[in-house]
Structure 1
Amino acid sequence: MSGSLWLKPPTTSPPLPSPPRPLRQEPPPAPVGHRTPGTASASVSGAPSAAPPATAADPLDELALRLDAFVAAAVHPDEIAALLEADGMTDDHIRLAYGRNDSFALAEDLYARGERRHPEPPRPEPRAPGRLAGLGGCLLRGLVFALPGLAHLLAGPLLAGAPGPYGLPSGTLPLLAGAVTGWVWNQALSHRAHTWLGLGDRAAAARALLTGAPAGALAGTAVAVAAARDGELPAALFAAGQSLYLAAATVLLVLGRERALLAALSPLLGALPALRWDLPDPLRVALPAVSLTAACLVAARTLRPGAARGAAGRGGPPLAASVPYGLFGLGSGVLVLHAGLGDSLAAGTGAVIALTLSMGPAEWLLHRFRGGSLARLRTLTTARAFRRAVTGTLLGCLGGYLTALLALTVAATLLWPGTPWPTPDRLLTLLLIGTVLWLGLLLQAFGAVLGAATVCLLAAAAQTLQPAAGPLAAGGAAAVLAVLSHVLLVRPTAHRA
């Protein structure tokens, strides 16, 4: 798994007006025999005559008119205050231009003036172009998440050696340590970059990636080297390349260059014959090296706007806001590793492949849930009807994801050589872990990432301390996340952009 599935709600807001300027009023026509003030003539009294003062329009009326659509759809004045502050309106400007103390007072006035209404439901879009493109894009992301696994297939014989710690094959520990470090770092980094993209500053997002991606690659390499033991130097070198790839993949996925990443990974398709036949060692080294080089070059080319432009003048989103996303990456990554390790590495291979490929359908179903919920928010008129509709949509999307995960597990077991059929206990654990991942991603998409991260970390810690408690830990985490998701998402305010 590489990159990020961090999703952000679409945000559209009307532009705010600039500070109002005094209206220029044309002087009234002077009567016959009368001259305008400022000329050499004077009035009868000897004082210069003056035109009556003009009355300017109330700037608050103009602002209310421009924000009418947003104010009408707002459910609380704080939404309007957030829009005003996000556009850079300071309290000084508000006092000068609108005669209110701050953004909250101005928002309350706008909210009181506006009429509550929702926009009409949008017309259905053409089925073929929009929906197929969305599904195709998500499936493409799932494919690029899974293709790097072919590099591990190629490098497997090169990393063989004496068993490592905890009875794992040689080189497993540095590879896992580097991968988990990359997942944690890049999940937090992708959130920060997506925040900049949400603010409409793509160059700032590129600058964040330009600084954070190399740092993440160095961190993953350092952790992998520190975890390596005697005789595991080849594994540490492979882990360094893995960390570099995760950094490049994060850049390309965040900036929407999935097709470029897929092209960079295409040399790894040469590993498919290794499923049946042995390949020469130079070819096993060359194919991953070519893909890694191509991914890094494409990422560097994509980041050129960030390198060409200087630092932004405004402060970015706080760094602390990205920490929960990294913690969620840690918890979910450890759960996936447990699904792959378990009591048999051969049996775990199919589980990891299925979970990785399922991230494509998972992302598409997340978008489907959001779109369906917004449609019901516009059409339903009672809170009870909305709760029932959202509950049904949530169950349907979760069921669709688990069905896709089960189908991918069967396909991976049939196609990957040497993979035994999963036992009922192992299959149940896999489906529970899939439930935890999908519900965690759903909560993350709606801003409740801290709760999702906490539950995933507790489940991962329980499974690490007591591997036999895998189904119990995953089942408990799935139940808690299901309750949290239902409590949060049946509220109409949770679906407001």
Structure 2
Amino acid sequence: MSGSLWLKNGTMQDTLPVIPRQRAGAGRPADPRTPPPAPHADPPPHALAPPQADPRPVPYERAGAAPPVGVLAGDPLDELADRLDVLVAVAVHPDEIAAILESDGMTDDHIRLTYGRADSFALAEDLYARVERRHPAPEAPPAGPWHTALAGCLLRGLVFALPGLAYVLGAPLLAAGPGRYGLPPGTVPLFAGAVTGWVWNQALSHRAYTWLGLGDRRAASRALLTGAPAGALAGAAVAFAAAGPGEGPAALFGTGQALYLAAATVLLVLGRERALLAALLPLAGAVPAFRYDLPEALRVGLLLHSLGATAVFAVLVLRPGFGRRPRARGGPPFATSLPYGLFGLGSGLLVLYAGADAVIALTLSMGPAEWLLHRFRGASLTRLRLLTTAQEFRRAVTGMLARCLAAYLAVLSALTVTAGLLWPGAAAVSAGRIGSLLLVGAVLWLGLLLQAFGAVSSAAVVCLLAAGAQTLAPSAGPVAAGAAAAVLCVLTCVLLVRPTTHRF
């Protein structure tokens, strides 16, 4: 497109003063035979009136044609400014305009002949002065994974908590046989299978989310297609291995629990929360079981209906990946998913030690917890764009961290009181119990925050140490949770007040 900026003519609107044309014979010596003009002769009438410009636009682009007398010739610089208006208006320096002129093939000779300027830099300065600056407004940041609606997070919290009703329906089925370690009958195989499922599915979720982050949904589906059944088999095997005499029904229940955890992981990772909610709705039939003894057939039917619906939905979601060979592409290393599984182990043990009503409160609080994590991440990115000093950023991030953590603990307190009043056989609600549960909640939320910023190894180590201390000395549970919360709080403050942490 060389020369396209200056070979194309435009429509002229501005006018210039008329330059009188030289009469014929001007500049030549006068003929002595020509008589001189009479002295004091009046000039002709038309010489006294200024020439009148024709208001109609007259084309002057005709090759070799000069504007007739009385027609105003357009300034070629105005034409060029109109043609380059969009490019010149957004320029921040005349040199940008000079680069545009030179890239389009304008030489200094052409600029001197056509525009009367010494070179492209002089012409660019004139264009920069003529055109008003009109820089476009910055675009709004795209909605990314850290911008999410509260309704979606609350929905996830609900589907996290609804499976707790399955234990209400299955409690009479597990009552046969003696309990062990001072726990109700069937508790050991259920806990063993649940913890196995949490560890496996946390690691599997990380691997699938990594594939999704790479933009390969098919590879994520393949990972879930191979990993979810393996996790279900592992959970069922551990539940049967941990079952004692008379705990066969609990082992069967643990098998269904492992299958549900695998199918729910598939649906949650692939964003099918609504399908999972629809599958769990039959468990609402457990609400009358809080006060009335339901028939055993009804209990089993509700449990199998929800379990079967969850498994069918998971198969339908993964069906496009059946029979397709994975691409020959190296995926994320398996070792990178191990810390996420260990974090699931430590946090899961801390939640189990808190009690049944506390488990319901904590699982329901995961929805608001997830939303607050997104809020903190989004607000920190906004502060990173707006603030100019590291000190201002540290103060802003510390304040946001304190507000988000306080909001989560307030929600958890309300849910703890509600669950303690509604859940049958729950421990009495007291200030000490609420305080110890808030410490566990702080550990979970801070650990999830560190996990979101890639510091999952530190969170996993702290949670495992706290869970191990509570296993060895159950009475020291609040002390272990408090120490873990304090350590995680320090780690969070040290890590997240650095601006470089938020640039990944």
State the TM-score, normalized to the length of structure 2.
0.71
| Deviation of the 1:382 alpha carbon | 0.2
Q: 2:230 aligns with which of 215, 218, 221?
A: 215
Unaligned runs of 5+ in 1: 1-118, 341-348
| Deviation of the 1:425 alpha carbon | 2.5
Tell me the amino acid that sits aligned with residue 313 of structure 1: A
Q: Following the alignment from structure 1 to structure 2, what is the Cα–Cα distance between the partners of residues 368 and 217?
A: 34
Q: Following the alignment from structure 2 to structure 1, what is the Cα–Cα distance between the partners of residues 179 and 427?
A: 24
Match of 1:89 in 2: none
Q: 1:325 aligned to 2:332?
A: no
Alpha-carbon displacement from aligned partner over 1:216-263 (angstroms, at most 9, x marks no partner): 000000000000011100000000000000000000000000000000
Partner secondary structure for residue 354 of structure 2 = helix
Q: Following the alignment from structure 2 to structure 1, what is the Cα–Cα distance between the partners of residues 367 and 178?
A: 34
Q: 2:472 aligns with which of 440, 465, 473?
A: 465
Match of 2:379 in 1: 372
Alpha-carbon displacement from aligned partner over 1:100-126 (angstroms, at most 9, x marks no partner): xxxxxxxxxxxxxxxxxxx98765999
Q: 1:428 aligns with which of 409, 419, 435?
A: 435
Aligned residue runs from structure 1 range 455-494, under 5 A: 455-494=462-501
Q: Is the contact made by 2:178 and 2:246 (CA closer than 8 Å) also made in structure 1?
A: no
Aligned residue runs from structure 1 range 443-454, under 5 A: 443-454=450-461
Alpha-carbon displacement from aligned partner over 1:425-484 (angstroms, at most 9, x marks no partner): 222110000000000000000000000000000000000000111111001000000000
Tell me the amino acid that sits aligned with residue 235 of structure 1: A
Q: 1:143 aligned to 2:150?
A: no
Q: 2:212 aligns with which of 180, 197, 211?
A: 197
Q: Is the contact made by 1:455 and 1:477 (CA closer than 8 Å) also made in structure 2?
A: yes
Q: 2:262 aligns with which of 247, 257, 260?
A: 247
| Deviation of the 1:198 alpha carbon | 0.2
| Deviation of the 1:308 alpha carbon | 4.1
| Deviation of the 1:161 alpha carbon | 2.6
Q: 2:415 aligns with which of 408, 411, 418?
A: 408
Alpha-carbon displacement from aligned partner over 1:261-285 (angstroms, at most 9, x marks no partner): 0001111111111112110000010
Q: 1:278 aligns with which of 288, 293, 303?
A: 293
Match of 2:365 in 1: 358
Relative to 1, partners in 2 of residues 1:448 and 1:465: Cα closer, same or farther, differing over 3 Å? same
Q: Following the alignment from structure 2 to structure 1, what is the Cα–Cα distance between the partners of residues 436 and 320?
A: 45
Tell me the amino acid that sits aligned with residue 182 of structure 1: G
Q: 2:171 aligns with which of 142, 146, 156?
A: 156
Q: Following the alignment from structure 1 to structure 2, what is the Cα–Cα distance between the partners of residues 256 and 428?
A: 34
Aligned residue runs from structure 1 range 37-186, under 5 A: 123=140, 134-186=149-201
Match of 1:264 in 2: 279
| Deviation of the 1:416 alpha carbon | 2.1
Moved more, 326-335 or 407-416: 407-416
Match of 2:445 in 1: 438
Match of 1:72 in 2: none
Tell me the amino acid that sits aligned with residue 393 of structure 2: F
Tell me the amino acid that sits aligned with residue 206 of structure 1: S
Q: Following the alignment from structure 2 to structure 1, what is the Cα–Cα distance between the partners of residues 443 and 414?
A: 18
Q: Following the alignment from structure 1 to structure 2, what is the Cα–Cα distance between the partners of residues 150 and 122?
A: 47
Q: Following the alignment from structure 1 to structure 2, what is the Cα–Cα distance between the partners of residues 443 and 480?
A: 12
Q: Is the contact made by 1:141 and 1:258 (CA closer than 8 Å) also made in structure 2?
A: yes
Q: 1:295 aligned to 2:302?
A: no
| Deviation of the 1:374 alpha carbon | 0.2
Q: Following the alignment from structure 2 to structure 1, what is the Cα–Cα distance between the partners of residues 286 and 176?
A: 21
Higher relative contact order by CA 8 Å / sep ≥ 6: 1 or 2? 1
Q: Following the alignment from structure 1 to structure 2, what is the Cα–Cα distance between the partners of residues 125 and 319?
A: 31
Q: Following the alignment from structure 1 to structure 2, what is the Cα–Cα distance between the partners of residues 232 and 200?
A: 45
| Deviation of the 1:303 alpha carbon | 0.6
Moved more, 160-169 or 245-254: 160-169
Identity %: 72
Match of 2:405 in 1: 398
CA RMSD of aligned residues (A): 1.8
Q: Following the alignment from structure 1 to structure 2, what is the Cα–Cα distance between the partners of residues 263 and 161?
A: 31
> Which of structures 1 and 2 has the bigger CA Rg?
2
| Deviation of the 1:420 alpha carbon | 3.9
Q: Following the alignment from structure 2 to structure 1, what is the Cα–Cα distance between the partners of residues 178 and 246?
A: 10
Unaligned runs of 5+ in 2: 1-135
Match of 1:115 in 2: none
Tell me the amino acid that sits aligned with residue 293 of structure 1: G
Tell me the amino acid that sits aligned with residue 234 of structure 1: P
State the TM-score, normalized to the length of structure 1.
0.72
Relative to 1, partners in 2 of residues 1:469 and 1:301: Cα closer, same or farther, differing over 3 Å? same
Tell me the amino acid that sits aligned with residue 447 of structure 1: G
Relative to 1, partners in 2 of residues 1:411 and 1:203: Cα closer, same or farther, differing over 3 Å? same
Tell me the amino acid that sits aligned with residue 259 of structure 1: R
Q: Following the alignment from structure 2 to structure 1, what is the Cα–Cα distance between the partners of residues 428 and 386?
A: 46
Match of 2:60 in 1: none
Alpha-carbon displacement from aligned partner over 1:319-354 (angstroms, at most 9, x marks no partner): 0000000000000000001111xxxxxxxx221110
Q: Is the contact made by 2:193 and 2:238 (CA closer than 8 Å) also made in structure 1?
A: yes
Q: Is the contact made by 2:177 and 2:245 (CA closer than 8 Å) also made in structure 1?
A: no
Q: Following the alignment from structure 2 to structure 1, what is the Cα–Cα distance between the partners of residues 177 and 197?
A: 26
Match of 1:309 in 2: 324
